[in-house]
Amino acid sequence: MTERLILLGVGTCQLEPGRATSAVLLELDDLRLVYDFGRGTADRLASLDLRQDDVESIVLSHYHPDHVSDLVPYLHAASHSRTDPRSRDLHIYGPPGLDDVVGRLLGLFGPGSLVVEERFTVHLEVVESGTLAIGPHRFEYRHLPPAGNHGLKLARGGRSYALTGDSDFHREEIDFLSGVDLAIFDSGHLSEDQIVELAVASRAKRMICSHIYEPLDEVALNARASARGYTGEIRIGHDLMELGLSG
């Protein structure tokens, strides 16, 4: 498949027409994974004509509802859809607490309601901050304060891509984005001053604002960052925005 990132949503817990909560689809030649799975993610995957068995891995940044809640409708459909029942195992990766939070979520409605054991298994795989291995792929999976959140970073063809999930403005965030070719970052917990500062300090080449709470002014952000010597580009993300992994 074409190697690409698609922003499934750029929103937050706020209910906004046209905006799902922040989640990213990553497609590599031999892997399709979804990073975070909050409100609207399942519908966005369906709108891309992706069937249940097309998605093998979900990586959770942390356990706030806006990052996990659509696991319920997604797995309900996996088990009981008549047009697209799941037959392939699903791997869910997340920080410590995975069994407690996601295990309880999946068990909430009783046996067989979200996972029909005869057809597929959901594997819950706890990942400590550091390296996440999925098949032949190695991701950096890094704790970013303050919400117990974990960013995901991938190196591919001499380029680097970073997703921050739900972060804040701090030294760890700057280090995580330092010099990356593309960052899809939580801009909603940052002020406009901090977004500019993050661009200038990290020197990330392209920065896509996601997890958006307040309206953002793309022109003004770029002008202010540029005046501080930033040579990259800041863009406001939107749902279903597609970004290639090359060029």
Number of Cβ atoms within 10 Å of the Cβ of 225: 21
Name residue, tokens 């249940």.
52
Nearest to 94, CA basis, from 112, 106, 86? 106
Number of Cβ atoms within 10 Å of the Cβ of 13: 15
The window from 66-74, 104-112, 154-162, 196-204 that contacts Zn ion (CB under 5 A) reads: 66-74
Per-residue contact flags (x/-) with Zn ion for residues 137 to 176, judged by CB under 5 A:
-----------------------------x----------
Closer to Zn ion by Cβ: residue 166 or 173: 166
**Residues of span 69-98 touching Zn ion by CB under 5 A:** none
Q: Strands 242-244 and 57-59: what pairing?
A: unpaired
Peptide bond just before 136 cis, omega within 30 deg: no
Per-residue contact flags (x/-) with Zn ion for residues 194 to 233, judged by CB under 5 A:
----------------------------------------
Closer to Zn ion by Cβ: residue 27 or 166: 166
Q: Report the nearest approach of Zn ion to the CB of residue 188 (Å).
A: 8
CA angle 224, 229, 230 (to 5 degrees): 75
Contacting residues toward Zn ion, per CB under 5 A:
66, 166
